Amino acid sequence: MTRHKAKRSETWDFTAFILKLALFIVILRSFIVSPFNIPSESMQPRLVVGDFLLVAKWPYGFSKYSLPFNISLIPGRILPQSPKPGDVVVFKAPPSARDDYIKRVIALSGDMVQVTNGLISINGVAVKREKIEDFTHPVTPNSPCFRDEFEANGGNGKLICRYPQFQETLPNGASYRILDIYENSEGDNTETFMVPDGHMFLMGDNRDRSADSRFPAIEGQSIGMVPEENLVGRALVSVFSTDGSAEWIKPWTWFSAARWDRIGEGF
């Protein structure tokens, strides 16, 4: 009898441990940090395909979008805070609010935004932009060049991609690098947008590869104006990056594929 009780006790202790661990993970991912990976080029040069980062959940408050599977346990938004222009945010993309996207906040409620020849103006004032050195990155399985014309010899028989790069500074002083590769591309000239109450105007840093607030919300594509209530969190730090060359059956490639220099970069 004692042996059976001991076995039941061990089984219960193990079950309790698993339940506590699951609860800890749910709390961690819901209210503190959650992982996010970069699937596209829309946020180059800051983020590239294969980057993995942590997203801070607390800066903008908590809602059902903070919880796994968007479980409706939180009414509205608790402890709401608006983001600042320049923040890199993860959010549920309109119109369905099912998929997580990542973009940079450009303007908030009440702001007037227009893009003219690729230059942003906010409330009638042009955003400062200056040309800097080209952005380059190695050609890898998950990061080919957009077109052959941007491919160059990087030395040692390796190819690189080279793109025109600019430093952009918003009126509040937030400064970051962007790519503007093509002249007169779609999205380089827009109407004047008035950001509705409780909404955000978001753009990708790679202006020619981002379907953002310059375009109306279409499921799986552009996002239109994004409600602040759709916020999931703010990009916090890069924790890993891979160039896509790793193979599961070749463990040594897990290390050779890592972009070690990108780990630990904050926002």
Tens-place pLDDT, residues 133-172 = 999 999 999 999 988 889 988 878 789 999 999 999 999 9
Tens-place pLDDT, residues 219-255 = 988 999 999 999 999 999 999 999 999 998 988 899 9
Give how far Cα 41 sits from Cα of 78, 142, 204, 205, Å. Answer: 33, 10, 9, 9
In the prediction, which pLDDT does 220 show?
87
Alpha carbons 31 and 57: distance in angstroms, whole number: 5
Q: How sure is the predictor about 26, in pLDDT bands with cuts at 50, 70 and 90?
A: low
Alpha helix (H) residue ranges in the chain: 2-31, 252-256
Alpha carbons 77 and 63: distance in angstroms, whole number: 5
Q: What's the chain's average pLDDT?
A: 89
Whether 82 sits among the annotated catalytic residues: the reply is no
Look at residues 164, 204, 161, 168 and name the one whose alpha carbon lies nearest to residue 180: 164
Mean pLDDT value across residues 82-97: 95
Whether 222 sits among the annotated catalytic residues: the reply is no
Alpha carbons 246 and 248: distance in angstroms, whole number: 7
Catalytic residue among 63, 103, 210, 213: 103
Name all domains of the chain by residue range, CATH numbers in brackets.
32-262 (2.10.109.10)
